[in-house]
Structure 1
Amino acid sequence: MDGSALEELDERIAGCRACPRLVAWREEVARTRRAAFTDWTYWGRPVPGFGPPDASLLILGLAPAAHGGNRTGRMFTGDRSGDVLYGALHEVGLASQARAERIGDGLELYGVRITSPVHCAPPANKPTPGERDTCRPWLVRELTLLRPSLRAVVVLGAFGWQAALPAFTAAGWTVPRPRPPFAHGAHVRLHRAEGGEPSGSREDLGGGAGVPGDGSLALHGCFHVSQRNTFTGRLTPAMLREVLRTAATSAGLPTTPPTG
């Protein structure tokens, strides 16, 4: 696709002021800053997606962290969750380096784009349902622009899963009824609404399923890379790498083989 359309979308997202509570919070955090980052000029705006415009794999989080993406201006950059995510992407062969510290640090994603259903850092990392719904048109537009190349999505956490399902419908895919519940390792095939099967179907997409080439989308669930999950062992690096490799296979992307 023409990357200029996605760049225009990113600029529009960065200028959004639709949710008063989120605007107030993100700007207050940017003014007061954390002691460790007193020398930073915080981004303090909505954080757009990051990655190539022809990505075949999308990673969908929750929202930027107050002192992570809200500080750096790039998704999952500058916080502990990002350390886990980008470290796994690098080990799997989908990122050029394991660390994401700031814009311009040389990080590249290979066939992968990262975005979120809410683009502003929320208080206590908890957007309201109204804020989620207000932000949804941005996600719908991003999915629509990515649709020519997009083949798989990894959704991190139950909030992102529930926020994303209506967006997939609005962007031209069908979602099974009843809606599939979130689970780590969940696999769901979403078909294009314009043709093919009349509705999505749940199926096992692992084990070299490949890219069907019919415009359908392989949806993969993964526990969020939050500190609560990674510190307690609910989500281990091996579990995250496994989901990423499975999703990359669905998207037709090469990965490095597991070690050990």
Structure 2
Amino acid sequence: MSTEYPVRAAAKARTLTELETRLVRCRACPRLVAWREETALAKRPAFADWEYWGRPVPGFGPADAAMMITGLAPAAHGANRTGRMFTGDRAGDLLYATLYDLGLASQATATGLDDGLELYGVRVTAPVHCAPPANRPTTGERDTCRVWLVREAQLMQPTLRSVVVLGTFGWQAALSALEEAGWSVPPPRPAFGHGVRTTLTPAGPTGAEVTVFGCYHVSQRNVFTGRLTPAMLRQVLAEAAYTAGLPVERPGPG
């Protein structure tokens, strides 16, 4: 499968369901395909009885979401195992517990596709949909995969009002994707930082503004070192949800 597949397949998708169906068939990046499938076969001893997903991981959440959360890429033994973004690892434990606390998720835990979790007004996705070695996609892999995020944003355009980007890599990828999807990024291009926000205007006569929020990634390292605390994460998510018009209390000063 060539790198042309994502471009053709994403463009043909008319709904997010169609996009997800096409995405999980993607084999455009040989290094990522080999790694995700090797990991799915080798497994981690703690998950020896699991049948790993081992494919590209689609976005998760309602098609009419007003708020998007985008990170880096699936974790090798998290989403690559469970088949859902931020599900089955400690980063996801914090993210979904915080969304639940804000009233944006049906439960605080995320363990697998059959756990009953629902999101309210929020969709979780990533700029790279396959688990990468050492959790580091190459710039070429990022660019090849970006068309999926571009199309996802385009299909969400009628309702999307805010985007929370976790980490520097995600920030750069998300701004490029949103620009390709039809929003104008203000010059000079805003730099990533925790708590940074920037408003993108629709490039055409239709559509609405989208406010993009920067947030440190919910990685174990960031949480263990105190770079990101649960309170810091909650503040950003609450601000983004409130900006998107979701039913959360107006957040106080961070």
Offset at residue 195 of structure 1 (A) = 3.6
| 1:62-211 alignment, distance < 5 Å | 62-195=72-205
Q: Is the 8 A contact 2:87 2:111 kept in 1?
A: yes
Q: Is the 8 A contact 1:93 1:256 kept in 2?
A: no
Matched, 1:254 2:247: yes
- Between the aligned partners of 2:78 and 2:250, the Cα distance in structure 1 is 30
- Normalised by the length of structure 2, the TM-score is 0.92
- Between the aligned partners of 1:94 and 1:55, the Cα distance in structure 2 is 11
- Between the aligned partners of 1:41 and 1:116, the Cα distance in structure 2 is 23
Which residue type is aligned with residue 121 of structure 2? G
Offset at residue 177 of structure 1 (A) = 1.5
Offset at residue 176 of structure 1 (A) = 1.2
Count of aligned positions: 239
Secondary structure at the aligned position of 2:184 is classed as coil
- Between the aligned partners of 2:110 and 2:181, the Cα distance in structure 1 is 30
- Between the aligned partners of 1:4 and 1:117, the Cα distance in structure 2 is 19
Any stretches of 5+ residues in structure 2 without a counterpart?
1-12
**Residue deviations 1:194-239, cap 9 Å, x none?**
149xxxxxxxxxxxxxxxxx60001100000001101111000000
Offset at residue 52 of structure 1 (A) = 0.2
- Between the aligned partners of 1:88 and 1:139, the Cα distance in structure 2 is 24
Offset at residue 42 of structure 1 (A) = 0.2
- Match in the other structure for 1:221: 214
Which residue type is aligned with residue 231 of structure 2? A
Offset at residue 4 of structure 1 (A) = 7.2
- Between the aligned partners of 1:249 and 1:255, the Cα distance in structure 2 is 6
- Match in the other structure for 1:34: 44
Which residue type is aligned with residue 253 of structure 1? L
CA RMSD of aligned residues (A): 1.4
Question: 4+ residue runs of structure 1 moved beyond 6 angstroms?
Answer: none
Q: 2:223 aligns with which of 224, 230, 241?
A: 230
- Between the aligned partners of 1:23 and 1:70, the Cα distance in structure 2 is 11
Q: Is the 8 A contact 1:91 1:256 kept in 2?
A: no
- Note closer, same or farther for the CA distance 1:100–1:4 as it changes in structure 2 (3 Å cut): farther
- Between the aligned partners of 1:232 and 1:27, the Cα distance in structure 2 is 31
Q: Is the 8 A contact 2:61 2:122 kept in 1?
A: yes
Secondary structure at the aligned position of 1:234 is classed as coil
- Between the aligned partners of 1:141 and 1:40, the Cα distance in structure 2 is 31
**Residue deviations 1:169-189, cap 9 Å, x none?**
110000012210000000100
Q: Is the 8 A contact 2:14 2:155 kept in 1?
A: no
Which residue type is aligned with residue 223 of structure 1? Y
Secondary structure at the aligned position of 2:98 is classed as helix
Matched, 1:45 2:55: yes
Any stretches of 5+ residues in structure 1 without a counterpart?
197-213
Offset at residue 256 of structure 1 (A) = 5.4
Which residue type is aligned with residue 48 of structure 2? T
